[in-house]
């Protein structure tokens, strides 16, 4: 277990935790981490967009200038394998999956659509899709779209907004009508974690498939897809995997299922013997059949750097530090902010938390703006959530301490009341 400063909430204890941090060396691998002054930027939004690794500009420049500029079309000899090769790095180093099960491709929303339709097709005669009423919008919307297109019914299960989904509530929603369950491993607002293995077992017992959305957890908490028996998953590489804004997503299909499934968008990169350009679509063997169009090779250069750093640090170590960092947020919130009307809106049990914590306050939007003006970057989630994501690879305990101290100042001196309200923003 990672050293936690939880028994001593002093700044000195935070500094001591940093001195004992086995991941401390990774901070220098990210740009913007060299300013150590008292007014430095405290970036707690790596759960939305991860920081830029120091190696990434050169990797992208190499892809642009050498591979494209000089290698031209001949570079396709290498590029053609990137989606699988980087997928295998993700599988082995981050997701706990086997070679040939992960592909870097498209966006999370599109990968979710592909796997959801494939899964629904694999459960003929079942007419219900299950999702979580508090899940990230794109998950709920994609489910609704597929249901409408296919004449299926959506069954939304309720999660506790702060504590996450109770597996018993999910179990009660599973019956012989359910074809597919779509669920995030880590809830986007509360950061609540669900047990992939447990939900997979529940769904399988009911004859349903689960498509996991690992977006808010990949690179921050273990997925261990093979050990969990997971069938299908998608996820994002621009959050905890530090792959860059709008970086391509990934999809995972358990090896034993691949040849039974077909996805609905029949593009030429999913075709067997692609360059024969034959008359009829025949899906490639293995995970390649879930590819569609020409892969975004320049963007993948950045994804590869992020994935390698995460694999090198180790997801278990990252998750352990993440629990300690978010634990410090929770303890400081209780100690400093509760009296000012700010409450913790995430699970208090570290084993049930992903890598971010939400705080709630009726004026969360104003607090967010006031914090940004004081050099702390959180994010806001409607209607009243302030999300703090201390990324273990580059956030120190002292950064969390200082950010919470600035938040304490903002709430205590009432300066947030001078900022426009959320209502003013959206209208």
Q: Residues marked as binding for pyridoxal 5'-phosphate?
A: 108-109, 136-139, 213, 216, 238, 268, 294
Residue 293, interface with its own copies (CB under 8 A)? yes
Tokens of 175: 């019956």
In the list 9, 40, 68, 334, the residue contacting its own copies (rule: CB under 8 A) is 68
Residue 73, interface with its own copies (CB under 8 A)? yes
423: which residues sit within 8 A by CB, 6+ positions away? none
C-alpha 123/C-alpha 413 separation (Å) is 58
How many angstroms separate the Cα of 184 from the Cα of each of 44, 53, 324, 391, 419? 21, 26, 22, 19, 33
Which residue is listed with tokens 């209780």?
334
Residue 284, interface with its own copies (CB under 8 A)? no
Residue 149, interface with its own copies (CB under 8 A)? yes
Choices 172-180, 198-206, 242-250, 347-355; region in contact with its own copies by CB under 8 A: 242-250
Nearer to its own copies, 62 or 312 (CB): 62
Which residue is listed with tokens 């669920």?
183
User: Nearest approach, Cβ of 74 to its own copies (angstroms)?
Assistant: 8
In the list 276, 351, 418, 423, the residue contacting its own copies (rule: CB under 8 A) is 276
In the list 8, 65, 158, 373, the residue contacting its own copies (rule: CB under 8 A) is 65
DSSP E strand stretches across 191-348: 209-213, 232-235, 250-253, 343-344
Nearer to its own copies, 244 or 354 (CB): 244
Q: Report CA 157 to chain centroid distance, whole Å.
A: 21
In this structure, how many other beta carbons lie within 10 angstroms of the beta carbon of residue 407?
29
In the list 265, 284, 311, 405, the residue contacting its own copies (rule: CB under 8 A) is 265
β partners of residue 155:
130
Residues 198-237 as x/- pattern, contact with its own copies by CB under 8 A: --------------------------------------x-
User: Nearest approach, Cβ of 144 to its own copies (angstroms)?
Assistant: 5
In the list 26, 136, 336, 401, the residue contacting its own copies (rule: CB under 8 A) is 136
CB 250 within 8 A of CB 287: no
C-alpha 16/C-alpha 104 separation (Å) is 39
Residues identified as active-site: 136, 213, 238-239, 387
Task: Measure the CA angle with vertex 398, ends 393 and 399; round to 5°.
Answer: 60
267: which residues sit within 8 A by CB, 6+ positions away? 291, 292, 293
Nearer to its own copies, 209 or 300 (CB): 300
Residue 28, interface with its own copies (CB under 8 A)? no
Give the residue ranges of DSSP H helices in 178-296.
196-205, 225-228, 255-258
C-alpha 115/C-alpha 135 separation (Å) is 17
Binding-site size, its own copies (CB under 8 A): 81
Nearer to its own copies, 331 or 402 (CB): 402
In the list 379, 384, 399, 402, the residue contacting its own copies (rule: CB under 8 A) is 379
In the list 4, 13, 26, 43, the residue contacting its own copies (rule: CB under 8 A) is 43
Angle between helical axes of 11-19 and 397-413 (0-180°, round to 10): 160
User: Nearest approach, Cβ of 228 to its own copies (angstroms)?
Assistant: 25
Nearer to its own copies, 79 or 336 (CB): 79
C-alpha 198/C-alpha 176 separation (Å) is 19
User: Nearest approach, Cβ of 295 to its own copies (angstroms)?
Assistant: 5
Residue 74, interface with its own copies (CB under 8 A)? yes
Residue positions forming the annotated binding site: 108-109, 136-139, 213, 216, 238, 268, 294
Residue 381, interface with its own copies (CB under 8 A)? yes
Per DSSP, the chain holds a count of helices (H) and strands (E) of: 15, 13
User: Nearest approach, Cβ of 83 to its own copies (angstroms)?
Assistant: 10
Residue 76, interface with its own copies (CB under 8 A)? yes
Residues in 315-344 that interact with its own copies by CB under 8 A: none
């Amino acid at each position: 277990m990672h050293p936690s400063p939880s028994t001593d909430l002093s700044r000195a204890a935070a500094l001591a935790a940093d001195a004992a941090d086995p991941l401390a060396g990774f901070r220098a691998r990210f740009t913007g981490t060299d300013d150590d002054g008292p007014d430095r930027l405290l970036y707690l939004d790596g759960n939305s967009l991860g920081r830029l690794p120091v190696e990434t500009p050169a990797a992208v420049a190499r892809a642009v200038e050498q591979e494209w500029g000089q290698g031209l079309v001949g570079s396709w000899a290498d590029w053609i394998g990137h989606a699988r090769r980087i997928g295998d790095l993700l599988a082995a180093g981050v997701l706990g999956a086997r070679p040939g099960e992960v592909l870097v491709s498209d966006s999370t929303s599109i990968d979710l659509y592909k796997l959801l339709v494939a899964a629904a097709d694999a459960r003929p005669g079942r007419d219900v899709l299950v999702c979580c009423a508090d899940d990230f919008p794109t998950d709920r919307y994609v489910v609704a779209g597929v249901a409408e297109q296919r004449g299926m019914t959506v069954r939304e299960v309720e999660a506790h907004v702060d504590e996450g989904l109770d597996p018993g509530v999910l179990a009660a929603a599973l019956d012989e009508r359910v074809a597919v369950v779509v669920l995030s491993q880590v809830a986007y607002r509360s950061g609540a974690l669900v047990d992939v293995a447990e939900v997979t077992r529940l769904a399988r017992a009911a004859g349903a498939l689960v498509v996991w959305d690992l977006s808010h957890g990949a690179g921050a908490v273990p997925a261990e897809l093979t050990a969990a028996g997971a069938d299908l998953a998608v996820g994002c590489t621009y959050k905890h995997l530090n792959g860059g804004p709008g970086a391509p997503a990934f999809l995972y299909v358990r090896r034993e299922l691949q040849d039974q499934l077909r996805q609905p968008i029949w593009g030429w990169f999913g075709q067997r013997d692609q360059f024969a350009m034959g008359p009829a679509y025949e899906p490639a063997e293995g995970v390649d059949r879930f590819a569609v169009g020409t892969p975004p090779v320049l963007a993948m250069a950045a994804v590869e750097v992020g994935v390698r750093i995460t694999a090198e640090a180790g997801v278990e170590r990252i998750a352990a530090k993440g629990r300690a960092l978010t634990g410090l947020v929770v303890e400081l919130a209780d100690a400093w902010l509760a009296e000012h009307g700010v409450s913790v809106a995430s699970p208090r049990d570290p084993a049930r938390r992903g890598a971010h914590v939400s705080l709630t306050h009726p004026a969360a939007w104003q607090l967010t703006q006031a914090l940004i003006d004081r050099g702390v970057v959180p994010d806001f989630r409607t209607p009243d959530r302030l999300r703090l994501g201390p990324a273990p690879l580059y956030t120190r305990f002292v950064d969390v301490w200082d950010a919470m101290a600035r938040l304490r100042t903002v709430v205590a001196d009432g300066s947030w009341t001078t900022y426009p309200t959320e209502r003013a923003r959206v209208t």
